[in-house]
């Protein structure tokens, strides 16, 4: 295909499913990882061998989004072009303390970290990608979102409010980048069956509730979101921009 995807957070869960889907479609892939270099390198080698595409892994701390500038310089050297950019990486653990919890327990540091990883990282990554896309005649930018800004989710106010903010940022970016041939959208997932969700103490409760609420009677999978991303990057979606595509098995209306 001769095109290149840059995606943050590509080693596990939704990110990994997206990386594999695009590689399978013949797209070269540059993905980031937080700390596990061995895992990232192994994945890159496996995908190169399996799909005969160019795959590279780069370290990136999503809480320091200015690092995108150096990252894209490396991508310039290794790939020479950027056609698709997907802002996917999230944070968990200590950085979200004070941001993941009931409203009355929210603290500035945790909230700021979530906003940085969700909104600021999208802005800086998209800016760097757009500079390359403009020179190449256009491209597609996507941010991953979640239905936690549409449906009440316990302890999710910090994340949900940042997802709402990034979806609004998508609309502004779409309006300003459209004349450059760049489309910008968001993919909003309902509860997706990932390792991150399985780590929740009430995982079985969430899973049962999701299956009961969905007309399709199943949990969402990372592949469901990967398929939506691939569609938005295809010519079939050439007149879709500034939108949030909800992939939630119908749960947000149940």
pLDDT at position 9 is: 97
Residue that has been written with the tokens 């797209």 in this structure: 27
Q: Is 135 a catalytic residue?
A: no
Question: Which residues have C-beta within 8 Å of that of residue 229, sequence separation ≥ 6?
Answer: 18, 21, 22, 86, 142, 187
Where does the pLDDT of residue 88 fall: very low under 50, low under 70, confident under 90, or very high at 90 and above? very high
Q: Is 163 a catalytic residue?
A: yes
What is the sign of the dihedral through the CA atoms of 29, 121, 59 and 197?
Answer: negative
For residue range 115-165, what is the model confidence (pLDDT) as tens digits? 999 999 999 999 999 999 999 999 999 999 999 999 998 899 999 999 999
Structure letter (DSSP) for residue 10: -
Rounded percentage of the chain residues whose pLDDT exceeds 70: 99
The DSSP line for 201-224 is TTHHHHHHHHHHH-TT-S-B-HHH
Domains, the chain, in order of start with CATH, read 4-192+221-246 (3.40.50.720)
Tell me, letter by letter, the H, E, C secondary structure of 24-52. Answer: HCCCEEEEEECCCHHHHHHHHHHHHHHHC
pTM of the full predicted structure?
A: 0.96
β strands within 68-180, DSSP E: 84-87, 139-146
pLDDT at position 201 is: 67
Token readout for 172 is: 């502004």
| CA pair distance 71, 25, nearest whole angstrom | 24
The number of CA neighbours under 13 Å toward the Cβ of 116 is 18
Active-site residue, from 58, 156, 172, 207: 156
| Beta-bridge mates of residue 245 | 187
For residue range 220-235, what is the model confidence (pLDDT) as tens digits? 999 999 999 999 999 9
Q: What are phi and psi of 32, to 5 degrees?
A: -105, 160
Active-site residue, from 74, 163, 180, 207: 163
- The neighbour count for residue 251, using CB atoms within 10 Å, is 22
Q: Give Cα 36 to chain centroid, integer Å.
A: 19
């Amino acid at each position: 295909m001769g095109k290149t995807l840059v995606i943050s957070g590509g080693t596990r869960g939704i990110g990994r499913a997206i990386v594999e889907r695009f590689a399978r479609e013949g797209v070269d892939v540059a993905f980031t990882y937080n700390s596990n270099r061995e895992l990232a390198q192994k994945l890159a080698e496996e995908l190169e061998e399996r799909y005969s595409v160019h795959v590279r892994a780069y370290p990136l701390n999503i809480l320091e989004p200015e690092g995108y500038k150096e990252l894209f310089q490396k991508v310039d050297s290794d790939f020479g072009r950027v056609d698709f950019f997907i802002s996917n990486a999230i944070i968990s653990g200590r950085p979200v303390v004070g941001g993941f919890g009931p409203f009355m327990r929210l603290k500035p540091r945790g909230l700021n970290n979530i906003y940085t990883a969700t909104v600021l990282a999208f802005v800086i990554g998209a800016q760097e990608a757009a500079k390359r896309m403009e020179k190449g005649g256009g491209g597609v930018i996507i941010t991953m979102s979640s239905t936690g800004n549409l449906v009440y989710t316990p302890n999710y106010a910090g994340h949900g409010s940042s997802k709402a903010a990034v979806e609004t940022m998508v609309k502004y970016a779409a309006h300003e980048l459209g004349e450059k041939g760049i489309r910008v959208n968001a993919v909003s997932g309902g509860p997706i069956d990932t390792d991150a969700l399985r780590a929740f103490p009430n995982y079985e409760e969430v899973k049962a509730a999701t299956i009961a609420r969905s007309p399709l009677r199943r949990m969402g999978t990372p592949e469901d979101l990967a398929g939506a991303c691939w569609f938005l990057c295809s010519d079939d979606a050439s007149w879709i921009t500034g939108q949030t595509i909800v992939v939630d098995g119908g749960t947000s209306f149940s």
